[in-house]
A and B are shown apart, each in its own frame.
Chain A
């Protein structure tokens, strides 16, 4: 309907929002990588601890 389209604002989105968004995405992505790295290492340590043999192999002495 034409009258509804006429009342829509004609303003343009300010360019600084794009810069803010991109830097925010980068920072979120970096944070995820750091968390993934540390949590990943932590989990692999836990997993190796869990998988340690309960009875150590018998020695020959």
Chain B
């Protein structure tokens, strides 16, 4: 099966309906999908359910795969959309109230700042964001999707993606700094209780 590309395997599965082709695709991507689900759910049992449902959904949709994008991009799109939909909370979804024409400028100015964030702090800051914001940042910086790909996957315009990314990065930076300040205060408090100042 290794000689077949993903797209060939899809075609073979659709034409023959033989499980071996689906299983080959599954073997290639199950870990990636499972890890992505785990990133959203933080719970292995729930991540297993998500993975199961995503692949089942995939089988139903395989017949409609038009090969306009790579299979992997398409699978990630299904995965991200599923995870975002099922982990979205009632917490305000700012994306719905955006004014796309107003803030179309996007730049990578604060990317350097994000690149310098420590993993632990970054993980905590990401957890403070809503599912859509988290999903967007993961697509861009974990899976290296282009703005065009993200726009296709989320079915919005490129300018909307740029603006959402900018907002998500601003929020991420804010939560990260809050975390850093909190740790500094805790450290300061510890130092003061350990070695009290004497005047």
**Residues of A bordering B, CB below 8 Å:** 1-14, 17-18, 20-22, 24-26, 29
Assess whether A4 is in contact with B38, with CB atoms less than 8 Å apart. no
Chain B residues with CB under 8 Å of A3's CB are: 114-115, 117-119, 122
- Contacts known (A1-B111, A7-B126, A18-B23); A25 close to B59, Cβ less than 8 A: yes
Chain A residues with CB under 8 Å of B126's CB are: 7
Chain B residues with CB under 8 Å of A22's CB are: 19, 22-23
Chain B residues with CB under 8 Å of A8's CB are: 35, 39, 142
Interface of chain B residues 65 through 102 with chain A (CB within 8 A): none
Chain A residues with CB under 8 Å of B51's CB are: 13, 17
Nearest CB of chain B from residue A36's CB, rounded to whole Å: 13
Q: Is the interface of A mostly helix, strand, loop or mixed?
A: helix
Chain A residues with CB under 8 Å of B137's CB are: 4
Nearest CB of chain B from residue A10's CB, rounded to whole Å: 7
Nearest CB of chain A from residue B107's CB, rounded to whole Å: 16
Q: How far is the CA of A17 from the CA of B151 in the complex (A)?
A: 31
| Cβ of B160 under 8 Å from chain A | no
The chain A residue with its CB closest to the CB of B58 is A21
Chain B residues with CB under 8 Å of A13's CB are: 30-31, 33-34, 48, 51
